[in-house]
Amino acid sequence: MRPITAQPGHTEAEVIAALASRTFVYADCYTITPLVGSPLHYTNARRDITVVPLGGSIRQTYQSRNVLIKGLKAHTKIGVQVDEQQIQIDYTGETEYQGRLSWPRALLLGYLDGATIRRDRYIATEWGADLSYPWLGGMPWFDGTLTSLTDVGRQTATLNVKSAFNVLDRQMPQSLFTSRCKRVWGDAGCGVDRNLFATLITITSGTPTTSFLPWASATSDYVEGMVHMDNSDAVTRVRKILKIDGSGLYLASPLDFLPAVGQSFTAYEGCPGTASRCEDFHGSSWRDFFLGFDKVPVAESAV
């Protein structure tokens, strides 16, 4: 049996008695904790649920209806195995991620990359008028990490999830000594606001293709950067910039539509992970952010 945590004012025995009676009601509550930003709390119930989260001390309201999460089944296995599953997140076009971006845009921009997600089940004998009162206690159902996207649409997305045992499946040694910085450019550890190094461009001439965007003023600073482009369908295409010449940008992977003159896009500068580039962004304090070893000798060959 899964460990039971009683809600304030109740006991574990009350939860066990409710389960034994087979006349209980339950609600599944999901907590998504991104690497940057506040946690997100949702429930599959038809109305909001207010409980004290497992391991917490302050009541938290889990929102219903706006975002619906399907998946995260509870599996019981012998041994240490990484449980891999897929979940589906349904959202409406008006629903915003953390009150700032639409869910499709946030997912494609990587706001949930590396986020943790857990599913907890709370037990009550009946639904009451006071939503925080009837919940006797809860138990953990799944705890894991969002690893990758499978599909993103206007109203639904499919994501891959691995259980918390995933931390035991890492290659060793965990830390590698390389000359290139190991941070992701623009994340919290990097400390660079990518929006300060973004340029809005409108194609005014040339012949754009699915892999080439004309922009004569592009500089080498945009190599390994990103391009964000919309095609009037509320879904932002994100492509990596492979190289740049005097005529424009070459994309690492083609777009799924053919842009035309008049099309606008946002180009973000890139970072090759070098110490000199980090110094461009942070000045004299660059060593506080650089997570590489710029003195590592280069590879040599012997004859």
SS3 for 2-36 is CCCEECCCCCHHHHHHHHHHCCCEEEEEEEEECCC
CA separation for the pair 114, 237 (Å, rounded): 20
What is the band of 222 on the pLDDT scale with cuts at 50, 70, 90? very high
Secondary structure (3-state) at 80: coil
**Which of the two residues, 76 and 39, has the higher pLDDT score?**
39
CB 116, CB 17: distance < 8 Å = no
- Region 218-222 average pLDDT: 90
CA separation for the pair 210, 199 (Å, rounded): 20
Give the Å distances, CA to CA, from 274 to 53, 67, 277.
43, 40, 5
- Domains in the chain: boundaries: 5-169, 194-270
CA angle 141, 142, 144 (to 5 degrees): 165
pLDDT in tens, 53-81: 988 888 899 998 888 888 776 655 555 56
Secondary structure (3-state) at 96: strand
- Region 233-241 average pLDDT: 86
Q: What is the DSSP letter of 298?
A: P
Question: What single string gives the DSSP state of each residue in 220-240?
Answer: GGGTT-EEEEE-SSS-EEEEE
CATH code for the structural domain at 194-270 = 2.40.10
- The 10 Å Cβ neighbour count of residue 294 is 14
